[in-house]
């Protein structure tokens, strides 16, 4: 596998994170926000995002999967790490690295809503609308991208490239 091109630079990411955070600050001013990062890909984006927030937050992480061992979603949500916080009547922001088919995100929102939340919204750094198999739309989106395999800034390919500062396209051999 080879990096074929830089899709989004570190500087572009930094500016977009600040813009998203400004919207979130406006939307949640005066309220406490539970920010839940979806592991593993969201951790770098989430760390940068929460440093730009000036609202009261609590942070938690979840591990979820709908892919089992394959590359296509099974449509079933499997929780690999659940949250420990009591979310009763809470405002929740789910932070994702990328929304692809929309299956995992839609199922996760549905599952969290069953926990008696005040509100739940989704923030994704990247959105691949062309791959969507449902009508799911994130509330906060950083960048719309084409159907390319991307790595960097937390996104990986077989565990590699997460540490890259830019988001790059990978050519799979």
- The CA distance from 114 to 110, in Å, is 7
Q: Catalytic residue at 11?
A: no
- What distance in Å separates the CA atoms of residue 34 and residue 85, rounded to the nearest whole number? 9
Cα distance between residue 14 and residue 99, in whole Å: 19
Nearest to 84 by CA among 40, 28, 32, 36: 36
Nearest to 151 by CA among 50, 4, 23: 4
Catalytic residue among 100, 147, 156, 173: 100
The rounded distance, in Å, linking the Cα atoms of 15 and 83 is 30
Task: List, in sequence order, every residue forming a beta bridge with 118; answer none if it has no partner.
Answer: none
Active site amino acids? 100
């Amino acid at each position: 596998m080879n990096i074929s091109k830089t899709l989004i630079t570190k500087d572009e990411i930094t500016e977009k994170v600040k813009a998203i955070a400004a919207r979130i600050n406006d939307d949640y001013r005066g309220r406490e926000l539970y920010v839940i990062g979806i592991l593993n890909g969201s951790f770098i984006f989430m760390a940068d995002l929460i440093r730009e927030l000036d609202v009261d937050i609590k942070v938690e992480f979840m591990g979820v999967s709908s892919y089992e061992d394959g590359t296509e979603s099974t449509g079933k949500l499997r929780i690999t790490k659940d949250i420990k916080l009591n979310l009763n009547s809470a405002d929740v922001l789910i932070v994702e690295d990328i929304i692809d088919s929309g299956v995992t995100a839609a199922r996760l929102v549905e599952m969290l809503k069953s926990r008696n939340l005040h509100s739940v919204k989704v923030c994704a750094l990247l959105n691949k609308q062309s791959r969507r198999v449902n009508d799911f739309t994130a509330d906060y989106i950083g960048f719309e991208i084409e159907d390319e395999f991307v790595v960097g800034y937390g996104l990986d390919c077989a565990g590699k490239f997460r540490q890259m500062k830019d988001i790059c396209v990978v050519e799979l051999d």
